[in-house]
């Protein structure tokens, strides 16, 4: 029987009972008296809840006292006050089992024997969490595929309809969950969802046997290319935009052509550093470094290609106008056109010696049209640049010279 303080409640005549040889067989304190004539007893105690139990932990608690001899016997029910104290009175002398019924809380059953008129103080009765309600913990590591060491913070680890936590810089986490079979969810912006199933036991820590890796969703890079000079739809169509991985320059580049508005886009890019480069015949290249993050769309804005005639790689297109009658060619006009187009590249005027020159793009071909009042116009081309001779030449490999004859 649980240790406690037994208090004998002496009814009238108790002293006489102790002093006399004869006891009235119907005396309420005589165990030999018929059961219906014996004085009833009382049980007292105080429930003590677990430290983390809610403040109203005793609101739905019931004290059940059942005769030990008969599992089907009626149960006497009492409720504790807000502080956990309870009193169960009117109990006939018998052997009893006291138990506590509380949502999510348990106590060990208490077996006791109660005599006639006896009061038993059970003292403090400790309650503990029920097995299913006692928490377990799951620990592990979750990594973002696109992050380096120390950059894995902020991944949300959760249980559906339950608690959640976030990972630290190293990806480590500890999540308190209800005991039982649980499905953990791992989520972070820009990454695919991952799940792991675990079986957690109360008061235990379950450690995942391998890191959970969140796959980074692909990113996108887009932009627009314009030609600083001489832009036409046909010339813009010659623009090629390439994309290479900055960390793997030997990897084959990806290429994209421009749309009708000069736009380009690269999809399905893994997070990381990339380099965008735009090229076109007759133009200096434009390049841009960009870092793409998971599920991010990067707009590079406009990449403007300067014409090579204005850059450091420009070469001089040099030629001369001569007159068949040996008159002075001073003032002769020379129109320079980009071959294969109607684009006028330059309008030049020959000097007194008939010479003319203009900076040009080494990878472009040009046509010339010379004219002078009183003389028949003359066209020559295409002229291409010879890097060995460091000059533009006609189809015969000669420096361009246009000889004008008098008009008929």
Instruction: Give per-residue pLDDT as tens, 45-56.
Output: 999 988 767 777
Topology of domain 5-131, per CATH?
A: Immunoglobulin-like (2.60.40)
pLDDT level of residue 133 (50, 70, 90 thresholds): low
Classify domain 134-214 by CATH architecture: Sandwich (2.60)
Q: Above 80 in pLDDT, residue 140?
A: yes
Query: What is 219-306's CATH number, 1.10.3720.10, 3.30.300.30, 2.60.40.10, 3.10.180.10?
Result: 2.60.40.10
Percentage with pLDDT > 90 across the chain: 67
Average pLDDT over all residues of the chain:
87
**Range(s) of the chain covered by CATH 2.60.40.10:** 134-214, 219-306, 315-404
SS (H, E, C) the chain: CCCCEEEECCCCCHHHHHHCCCCCCCCCCCCCCCHHHCCCEEEEEEEECCCCCCCCCCCCCEEEEEECCCCCCCCEEECCCCCCEEEEEEECCEEEEEEEEECCEECCCEEEEECCCEEEEEEEEECEECHHHCEEEEEEEEEECCCCCCCCCCCEEEECCCCEEECCCCCEEEEEEECEEEEEEEECCCECCEEEEEEECCCCEEECCCCEEECECCEEEEEEEEECCCCCHHHHCCCEEEEEECCCCCCCCEEEECCCCCEEEEEEECCEEEEEEEECCCECCEEEEEEECCCCEEEEEEEEECEHHHCCCCEEEEEEEEECCCCCCCCCEEEEEECCCCCEEEEEECCCCCEEEEEECCCCCEEEEEECCCECCEEEEEEEEECCCCEEECCCCCCCEEEECECC
Where do the CATH 2.60.40.1120 domains begin and end in the chain? 5-131
Confidence (pLDDT) at 143: 95
What is the per-residue pLDDT for 28?
Answer: 66
Q: Is CATH 2.40.50.140 the classification given to domain 315-404?
A: no
| Res. 21: pLDDT tops 50 | no
pLDDT-derived band at 249, boundaries 50, 70, 90? confident
Residue 7 binned pLDDT confidence (cut-offs 50, 70, 90): very low
């Amino acid at each position: 029987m649980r240790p406690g303080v037994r208090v004998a409640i002496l009814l009238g005549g108790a002293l006489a009972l102790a002093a006399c040889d004869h006891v009235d067989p119907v005396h309420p304190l005589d165990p030999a008296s018929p059961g219906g004539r014996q004085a009833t007893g009382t049980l007292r105690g105080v429930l003590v809840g677990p430290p983390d139990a809610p403040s109203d932990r005793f609101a739905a608690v019931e004290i059940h006292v059942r005769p030990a001899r008969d599992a089907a016997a009626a149960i006497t029910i009492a409720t504790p006050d807000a502080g956990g104290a309870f009193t169960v009175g009117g109990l006939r002398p018998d052997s009893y089992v006291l138990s506590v019924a509380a949502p999510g809380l348990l106590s060990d059953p208490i077996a006791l024997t109660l005599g006639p008129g006896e009061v038993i103080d059970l003292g403090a009765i400790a309650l503990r969490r029920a097995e299913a309600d006692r928490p377990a913990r799951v620990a592990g590591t979750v990594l973002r595929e696109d992050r380096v060491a120390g950059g894995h913070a902020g991944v949300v680890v959760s249980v559906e309809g339950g608690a959640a936590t976030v990972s630290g810089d190293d990806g480590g986490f500890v999540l308190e969950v209800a005991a039982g079979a649980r499905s953990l969810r791992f989520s972070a912006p820009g990454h695919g969802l991952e799940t792991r199933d675990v079986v957690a036991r109360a008061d235990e820590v379950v450690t995942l046997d391998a890191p959970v890796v969140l796959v980074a969703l692909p990113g996108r890079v887009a932009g627009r290319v314009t030609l600083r000079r001489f832009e036409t739809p046909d010339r813009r169509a010659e623009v090629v935009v390439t994309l290479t991985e900055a960390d793997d320059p030997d990897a084959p580049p990806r290429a994209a052509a421009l749309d009708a508005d000069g736009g380009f886009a690269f999809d399905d890019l893994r997070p990381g550093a990339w380099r965008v480069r735009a090229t076109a015949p007759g133009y200096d290249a434009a390049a841009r470094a960009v870092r793409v993050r998971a599920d991010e769309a990067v707009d590079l804005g406009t990449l403007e290609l300067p014409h090579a005639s204005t850059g450091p790689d420009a070469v001089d297109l040099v030629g001369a106008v001569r007159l068949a009658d040996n008159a002075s060619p001073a003032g002769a006009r020379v129109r320079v056109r980009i071959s294969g187009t109607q684009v006028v590249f330059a309008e030049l005027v020959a000097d007194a010696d008939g010479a003319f020159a203009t900076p040009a793009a080494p990878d472009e071909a040009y046509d010339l049209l010379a004219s002078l009042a009183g003389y028949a116009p003359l066209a020559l081309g295409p002229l291409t640049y010879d890097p060995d001779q460091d000059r533009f030449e006609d189809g015969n490999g000669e420096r361009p010279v246009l000889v004008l004859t008098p008009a008929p």
